[in-house]
Each structure stands twice: as structure tokens, then as C-alpha cells.
Amino acid sequence: MYGNHNGLLVMAGDRPFARYGADESVHGQLTLGYHRAATNTTVWFHTLESGYTAQYRGGEVRWIVRPVPNTSAVVTWTVLPLDSDIGMVSEITSTGASTGDRLLFMFGGAYKLSGKLKKKSDVHESDDAARFPVVDRHTTPQLF
């Protein structure tokens, strides 16, 4: 998704994971997770093979995630580019969580590119698009 004539690009797809940047920089990457207190387990949304739906409406991506099978927990995550600055907005809502469950987030991964982000991420103009670093789907960050 493109920003309002300011070079901003927010990249999001089928999996619940968002990255944004502008010009020659990726400013960050965001993913969410869910910690289930009853079983002391954590799932990061970008690692899910199923249990989520991706929706796109002009300039907005929304994921509806059921992080724990056979429960009523549902997390809705919406991402869109800022209108007049470099950045992205995330709205996160949750229903059906059990006592002690936690919503987690992981943000980071800023880096410089050798060239413009829009050209580097355009599969029609560059073969570099397939080489963007992506968070390892099997990474387990430390909880604090």
C-alpha cells in the first residue's frame, strides 16, 4: 500500500505480518503473537499455517486470527499507511480471550537498501524483491 505521495510503502500480504519503509530504508517490521495462559503456549501469527483470514479494502489490510483452535479467542488486526507522514497505523482488537491470555507484539528490523524501496520490492522491476530479509517463521523471541 502506498502513502500519500510521500514515498511511503507498507507491505502486507496473506500472512499476518507488516513491513513499512520509504525511499532507501525499511523502517520496521511488525508481527503479533498470542500467549495462552491455560497451556503456557505462545503462537506468533506469521507462523500460522491456518486459522486466519486476510482481507484487503482499498489502502487497508485486515487479518482475522483465531490463534488458539477450539476456543472463542479472535484477534482482528488492521494495518494502513499514514496519510501525511512516513509510518503505518495498526488497530488491534480481541474478543473471547481467557483470563491471563496476552497479546504480544514484536517490532524491529530497520535497515538501509541500495536503491529505492518501491523499485526493490517491485517484482516487475527487480529480482531483489525475493531477497528481502523476512523474520524467520520459527523464531521464538524472549518474553519479558
Q: Rounded to two decimals, what is the model's pTM?
A: 0.75
Mean pLDDT by 10 residues, the chain (144 residues): 67 84 80 94 92 89 91 92 80 94 89 62 44 47 41
Q: Write out pLDDT tens, residues 88-109.
A: 888 999 999 999 999 999 988 7
Residue 97 makes CB contacts below 8 A (sequence gap 6+) with 73, 103
Query: Cα(120)–Cα(24) distance, rounded to whole angstroms?
Result: 9
Query: 10 Å Cβ neighbour count for 82?
Result: 15
Query: 10 Å Cβ neighbour count for 130?
Result: 7
Residue 64 grid cell: 482475522
Query: Cα(31)–Cα(116) distance, rounded to whole angstroms?
Result: 24
